[in-house]
Amino acid sequence: MATCIWLRSCGARRLGSTFPGCRLRPRAGGLVPASGPAPGPAQLRCYAGGLAGLSAALLRTDSFVGGRWLPAAATFPVQDPASGAALGMVADCGVREARAAVRAAYEAFCCWREVSAKERSSLLRKWYNLMIQNKDDLARIITAESGKPLKEAHGEILYSAFFLEWFSEEARRVYGDIIYTPAKDRRALVLKQPIGVAAVITPWNFPSAMITRKVGAALAAGCTVVVKPAEDTPFSALALAELASQAGIPSGVYNVIPCSRKNAKEVGEAICTDPLVSKISFTGSTTTGKILLHHAANSVKRVSMELGGLAPFIVFDSANVDQAVAGAMASKFRNTGQTCVCSNQFLVQRGIHDAFVKAFAEAMKKNLRVGNGFEEGTTQGPLINEKAVEKVEKQVNDAVSKGATVVTGGKRHQLGKNFFEPTLLCNVTQDMLCTHEETFGPLAPVIKFNTEEEAIAIANAADVGLAGYFYSQDPAQIWRVAEQLEVGMVGVNEGLISSVECPFGGVKQSGLGREGSKYGIDEYLELKYVCYGGL
């Protein structure tokens, strides 16, 4: 994300006309690589009405590499999942463009790593400020390309921007150590240094926040990045590139290479196997994560991965029913059930089961409104595509065929092929698909259980462990269950757990490493031990 207008204000000193040892030359308004002309704004391709009225500067369709907006030999369409209308044609990058982006990031890394933490912090803060100034347009882009209700899209933009703010502050808090050794004439030092170029592969369900959560940490640490956004939602990544450019992030520090589903496999392999890439950060399915791990293994690259989940939501007899229902609504139906931490199965103890199911059904009927994300009052937008609808439909049909009861919903919505009714099932058993396959849709299956031990056993039977939730008023039980759940994040009497200040990640096959929080920047740093002798 850069046209490389370097810091002119923000209280930081200006850099000289070149970085030490880096082939950059000055130009009006900033620095560009010594070879090639200065970047200019790309001509926008034609749009359907879906993004009409937005700032033209934010509606980019080309790749962003080395501070330049570059077209590709081919393009691919991006569609509005609510209507199916084409939003625009975006550059369909291939292996050649991917390798060029990695090379640009590597050349920029030689300079960026030498920039002071204070200056990196100032630039990230400027980027954050620009996101806040443009939050309405950025939210509309998210709604147009992902279908997310506009109110939630606004929430994502704030969440996304807060990662830049957070890591702008963490950039100045990367500390090392001095260790006193047994030898009196030696001292041991531990340095933290940026790892290098990071390949960042992000999903469509949070097309802005999943980028800034990774990129904010990487840039704060002194790394550079190549971002491959999801093929369904490239406009958000490209809009962020434009704002990073306006903020003065130097050329080559942030690069974006959109591509179609057809090219995704080879582009992903190209950036993950390139010897100039030192780090892979991925959010997506466990299946794809395993493929990328194989790519990383050949050159022993550092990886951090946030993969699939099967989040249990447990309601014990001691729970406050109203609180549990409110938490269930927030946890299950955010983004129409399309988040990796959405509750996937509801385990409700026998004594409170009937009251919870009744109250949950009433809350769904009263508070959930299916519609286009741009329509006021919509809480449930479309699923991302028809394949996602088919998956929910398959799980519902499988459950009903095995004895589950549809309490509410249960079928496609009349609005269109990508819409599905918010659905509540009871009499669910563990042999049903919905209990061991991540849904990623508006389906809430309820399993009745008898004892705490039974609930823990069901919850921990999965081979993934991202998030888990439970409701209880018993302090001893709260400690027991929180410690025994095999997940990376636990919500106790709370259905919304994500926060920039807290570590996000899972255990088992839900991933490696943590994002956000003070721990997130460590994913992009190497430790170096220095032995200083002869003292």
- DSSP for 240-302 reads HHHHHHHHTPPTTTEEE----HHHHHHHHHHHHH-TTEEEEEEES-HHHHHHHHHHHHHHT-E
Residue recorded with tokens 């790309």 = 42
Structure tokens at 68: 């330049």
pLDDT, tens digit (0-9, with 9 covering 90-100), for 355-414 = 999 999 999 999 999 999 999 999 999 999 999 999 999 999 999 999 999 999 999 999
Residue 534 within any structural domain of the chain: no
Using CA atoms, how far apart are residues 138 and 235, in angstroms rounded to an integer?
Answer: 9
CA separation, residue 447 to residues 183, 471, 486 (Å)? 63, 15, 19
Structure tokens at 423: 């659905």
CA angle 76, 80, 84 (to 5 degrees): 90
Task: Tell me, yes or no, whether 108 and 256 share the same domain.
Answer: yes
Using CA atoms, how far apart are residues 66 and 245, in angstroms rounded to an integer?
Answer: 11
Structure tokens at 407: 């309490």
Task: Tell me, yes or no, whether 289 and 347 share the same domain.
Answer: no
Task: Tell me, yes or no, whether 295 and 316 share the same domain.
Answer: no
Give the bridge partners for 31, in sequence order. 26
Using CA atoms, how far apart are residues 349 and 455, in angstroms rounded to an integer?
Answer: 8
Sign of the C-alpha dihedral, residues 60, 63, 68, 72? negative
CATH at 104: 3.40.605.10
**Does residue 529 sit in helix, strand or coil?**
strand
Residue 532 and residue 188 in contact, taking contact as beta carbons nearer than 8 Å: yes
Task: Tell me, yes or no, whether 298 and 323 share the same domain.
Answer: no
Residue 158 within any structural domain of the chain: yes
Q: Output the pLDDT for position 351.
A: 98
Residue 6 within any structural domain of the chain: no
CA separation, residue 36 to residues 24, 33, 229, 355, 451 (Å)? 11, 7, 26, 69, 69
> Of 249, 276, 307, which closes a domain?
307
Closest to 522 measured CA to CA, from 222, 128, 197, 295: 222
Residue 446 and residue 348 in contact, taking contact as beta carbons nearer than 8 Å: yes
Give the bridge partners for 525, in sequence order. 194
pLDDT, tens digit (0-9, with 9 covering 90-100), for 279-312 = 999 999 999 999 999 999 999 999 999 999 999 9
* Number of residues that make up the chain: 535
Q: Output the pLDDT for position 20.
A: 36
Residue 419 within any structural domain of the chain: yes
Q: Output the pLDDT for position 56.
A: 83
Residue 301 within any structural domain of the chain: yes
Going by C-beta distance under 8 Å and a sequence separation of 6 or more, which residues neighbour residue 28? none
Task: Tell me, yes or no, whether 439 and 488 share the same domain.
Answer: yes
107 alpha carbon, distance to own chain's centre: 26
**Does residue 368 sit in helix, strand or coil?**
coil
Residue 521 and residue 170 in contact, taking contact as beta carbons nearer than 8 Å: yes
Residue 21 within any structural domain of the chain: no
> Of 497, 514, 530, which closes a domain?
497
Using CA atoms, how far apart are residues 7 and 156, in angstroms rounded to an integer?
Answer: 28
Determine the structural domain holding residue 69 and report its residue range: 63-307
Residue 415 and residue 370 in contact, taking contact as beta carbons nearer than 8 Å: yes
Task: Tell me, yes or no, whether 334 and 410 share the same domain.
Answer: yes
Number of domains within the chain: 2
The list of the chain residues with pLDDT below 50 reads: 1-49
Which string of b and e fits 334-357 if b means at least 16 CB within 10 Å?
bbbbbbbbbbbbbbbbeebbeebb
Closest to 415 measured CA to CA, from 377, 381, 449, 460: 381
Task: Tell me, yes or no, whether 78 and 183 share the same domain.
Answer: yes
Q: Output the pLDDT for position 27.
A: 28
Task: Tell me, yes or no, whether 303 and 341 share the same domain.
Answer: no
Using CA atoms, how far apart are residues 168 and 127, in angstroms rounded to an integer?
Answer: 10
Residue 373 within any structural domain of the chain: yes
CATH at 437: 3.40.309.10
Residue 303 and residue 284 in contact, taking contact as beta carbons nearer than 8 Å: no
Q: Output the pLDDT for position 57.
A: 86
Task: Tell me, yes or no, whether 256 and 323 share the same domain.
Answer: no
> Catalytic residue numbers?
306
> Of 307, 328, 345, which closes a domain?
307
Structure tokens at 251: 């050329």
Structure tokens at 361: 């059904």
Q: Output the pLDDT for position 50.
A: 57
Task: Tell me, yes or no, whether 296 and 343 share the same domain.
Answer: no
Task: Tell me, yes or no, whether 328 and 388 share the same domain.
Answer: yes
Using CA atoms, how far apart are residues 535 and 522, in angstroms rounded to an integer?
Answer: 31
Using CA atoms, how far apart are residues 505 and 513, in angstroms rounded to an integer?
Answer: 6
Task: Tell me, yes or no, whether 159 and 204 share the same domain.
Answer: yes
Residue 356 within any structural domain of the chain: yes
Using CA atoms, how far apart are residues 461 and 457, in angstroms rounded to an integer?
Answer: 6
Counting Cβ atoms within 10 Å, is residue 75 exposed (0-12), middle (13-18) or buried (19+)? middle
